[in-house]
Amino acid sequence: MNKAPSFGHSGFLMESPAALQQSASRRGPALVAGALWLAAGLSAGYWVLQFMGRSAVTPVTTVATAPPSADPMAVARTLGAVPVAAVGAAPAPAAPARYVLLGVVATGTDGGAALIAVDSQPPRPYRVGASIDGGLVLQAVTRRTVRLGPALDAPSSMELSLPEKATAPS
């Protein structure tokens, strides 16, 4: 005897609990098989991409380079020094000075830095308060001069000035 399908009060077809259990037991192995085939396909694709993407190993050679050296004259020009040849009209000193001021960077009243050459060596930058060869300390930096002394708060014992800018002949 065929049993007519029963409809619930919402209008949907209602299956018996035994029918639901029988269809679930048929879908279980199909879902497990599908998940296994998906995993196998993804694994195979991963390994194919791994082998296709590899190339022969090429060693990379590096060449050691020397660190760049600073050009003292370029730094001096950047800080505002005038080349000695451009001064021209300035009288030559009788004896070479031990300290030569080549450039200044004045920042406020208590800050700044100066580019000073000591004993014809390449110029080095010094900040206010820094010790300079010979027991002197850079005390103050102004627009065109610096003051040196034995200590930061001691009286100045030396003042260095930038050379005057040369004017072009008219």
User: Are 36 and 108 in a shared domain?
Assistant: no
Residue 109 CA, chain-centre distance (Å), reads 31
pTM of the model: 0.41
Same domain, 85 and 153: yes
**7: in domain:** no
Helical (H) or strand (E) element with 146: strand 145-149
The alpha carbon dihedral of 10, 15, 18, 24 has a sign of negative
- Looking at the DSSP assignment, which residues form a beta bridge with residue 99? 118
For residue range 81-96, list pLDDT tens digits in order.
Answer: 766 554 444 443 433 4
Q: What is the dihedral of CA 90, 94, 99, 105, to 10 degrees?
A: -10
Same domain for 121 and 44: no
Q: For residue 156, tell me if it sits in a domain.
A: yes
19 and 100 together in one domain? no
- Asked if residue 147 and residue 89 are part of one domain, the reply reads yes
One domain, residues 109 and 151: yes
Residues 6+ apart with CB under 8 A from 80: 103, 104, 162
Res 88: pLDDT: 46
Partnered with residue 61 across adjacent β-strands are none
Residue 84 and residue 142 in one domain: yes
Q: Is 86 among the domain residues?
A: yes
Per-residue confidence of the chain (170 residues) as pLDDT tens digits? 555 555 555 556 666 666 666 666 778 888 999 999 999 999 999 999 888 877 666 776 777 777 777 777 777 778 777 665 544 444 434 334 788 888 888 877 678 899 888 888 888 999 888 888 878 898 889 888 898 998 888 888 888 888 777 555 54
Q: Within this chain, do residues 32 and 76 fall inside the same structural domain, yes or no?
A: no
What's the burial of 132, exposed, middle or buried (CB within 10 Å: 0-12/13-18/19+)?
A: middle
- For the beta sheet containing 136-141, the strands, ordered from the edge strand earlier in sequence to the opposite edge, are 131-132, 136-141, 145-149, 158-161
Residue 92 confidence (pLDDT): 39
If asked whether residues 85 and 149 sit together in one domain, one would say: yes
The reply to whether 149 falls in a domain is yes
In a domain, 140, yes or no: yes
* Cα angle, residue 73 at apex, residues 165 and 86 outer, rounded to 5°: 30
Please, what is the Cα angle at 73 between 72 and 78, to 5 degrees? 100
Domain count, the chain: 2
**Domain contains 6:** no
Residues 106 and 148 in one domain: yes
Question: What pLDDT score was predicted for residue 41?
Answer: 96
**Which domain range does residue 20 map to?**
12-52
Identify the bridge partners of residue 149 per DSSP, sorted by sequence position.
Answer: 137
Residue 155 and residue 77 share a domain: yes
Together in a domain, 32 and 88: no
Burial classification of residue 24, based on how many CB atoms lie within 10 Å of its CB (0-12 exposed, 13-18 middle, 19 or more buried): exposed
> Rounded CA gap, 8 and 50, in Å?
56
Residue 4 domain-assigned (yes or no): no
- Residue at 30 is within a domain: yes
* Residue 135 pLDDT: 83
